[in-house]
Amino acid sequence: MTLMHSTEIRSLIDLQAKDKLIADMAGKILSIPDEIETLNALFDEKKNSMNTARETLLKLQVEKKNKELSIAEKDEEIRKHQRELNMIRENKAFKILLSEIERAKKEQDDIETELLVLLEAVDKAAIEDKKLQQEVKKLEEEKNRKIAELEAAKKDLAASLSAVKTERSQFCAKIAPEIMEKYEFIKEQRQGLAIVEIKEDKTGKISCGGCNIGLIPQKAVDLKKPDILVFCDNCQRIIYLKKTVYG
């Protein structure tokens, strides 16, 4: 079909605008759950980082406590050996005990050195833990606020979409059934774009605004008639000349 008698091209143009609005609104509604999921995923990622930092801090604190206990144990060992020195009379045993005391002191010094390094690591881990806790708290508040806004927007969009669909139904009832059938068929086949304005270059050559294929000269004649619908021979979309429709 290349022609169809009708004076309802304007109504179809308006209908397509409504359909685009409906599609846009429906798309926004469908995208909101994904946006909420992304917000939750980002929050979970940050929370996991916080939990990992907390586990690191707790592990370091346990290690610190163990080092302190080891130092205390070495201190007690040294004190014990020093008390034993007063009871020893043999020179060989005395030297052996002195050697044990020196060994224990050396081990205690090594542990204390390790403890100093560990204390620095604990301090850094504590700072990181506190920072992440603050970031997680702030991010959670922001996430909850954005989710509340998205859910409210979704509710408003759903209400508006319902109203626009009702308006569309009332609008379609005023258009001839055979025209509506043709429009709906093309819209389904062409991803929602059933009606397009033609393009005209500086030389006067015209082409379809949908598929960009050049149109035969007869189309230019047909497009100037206000009482017919003209179709692109290539994509089958309804094509129109703006000055004919709105002139």
Tell me, yes or no, whether 3 lies in a domain: no
Query: Is there a domain that residue 6 lies in?
Result: no
Domain co-membership, 193 together with 122: no
CA 34: distance to chain centroid? 7
Together in a domain, 202 and 157: no
Residue 232: exposed, middle, or buried by beta-carbon count in 10 A (0-12, 13-18, 19+)? buried
In a domain, 5, yes or no: no
- 207 and 108 part of one domain: no
Q: Taking each helix axis from N to C terminus, what angle separates 9-85 and 91-172, rounded to the nearest 10 degrees?
A: 170
Choose one of 175, 201, 218: the last residue of a domain.
175
113 CA to centre of own chain: 47
| Residue 187 and residue 167 share a domain | no
Q: What is the pLDDT of residue 202?
A: 85
Domain coverage including residue 190: 179-246
> For the residues 99-126, what does the mean pLDDT come to?
96
Domain count for the chain, please give it.
2
Is residue 111 located within the same domain as residue 231?
Answer: no
**Residue 203's pLDDT is what?**
85
pLDDT band at 1 (very low <50, low <70, confident <90, very high): low
pLDDT score of 177: 94
pLDDT digits (tens, 9 = 90+) for 40-83: 999 999 999 999 999 999 999 999 999 999 999 999 999 999 99
Note the pLDDT of residue 190: 95
What is d(CA 177, CA 111) in angstroms, rounded to the nearest whole number? 91
Residue 213 lies in a domain: yes
152, 77: one domain: yes
Residue indicated by tokens 């060989």:
92
In a domain, 2, yes or no: no
In-domain check, residue 4: no
At 89-111, the pLDDT tens digits run: 888 988 999 999 999 999 999 99
Co-location of 121 and 202 in the same domain: no
Question: What mean pLDDT is reported for the chain?
Answer: 94
Nearest Cα residue to 218 out of 200, 202, 206: 206
Regarding whether 39 and 103 lie in a shared domain, the answer is: yes
CA dihedral 95, 99, 101, 106 (to 10 degrees): 160
Q: What is the pLDDT of residue 91?
A: 87
Q: Are residues 233 and 200 in the same domain?
A: yes
- Is residue 71 located within the same domain as residue 106? yes
What is the reported pLDDT for 204? 82
Does 122 have pLDDT greater than 90?
yes
Same domain, 148 and 203: no
Of the candidate ranges 28-32, 88-92, 169-173, the one whose mean pLDDT is the lowest: 88-92
Tell me if 116 is assigned to some domain.
Answer: yes
| Residue 25 falls inside a structural domain | yes
Domain boundary among 115, 145, 175: 175
Pairing type for strands 195-197 and 238-240 reads parallel
The pLDDT value given to residue 4 = 75
Q: So what's the pLDDT on residue 2? A: 66
CATH number at residue 110: 1.10.287.1490
Residues 195 and 230 in one domain: yes
Last residue of a domain, one of 114, 146, 175: 175
Q: pTM of the full predicted structure?
A: 0.75
Q: Is it the case that residue 247 has pLDDT exceeding 80? A: no
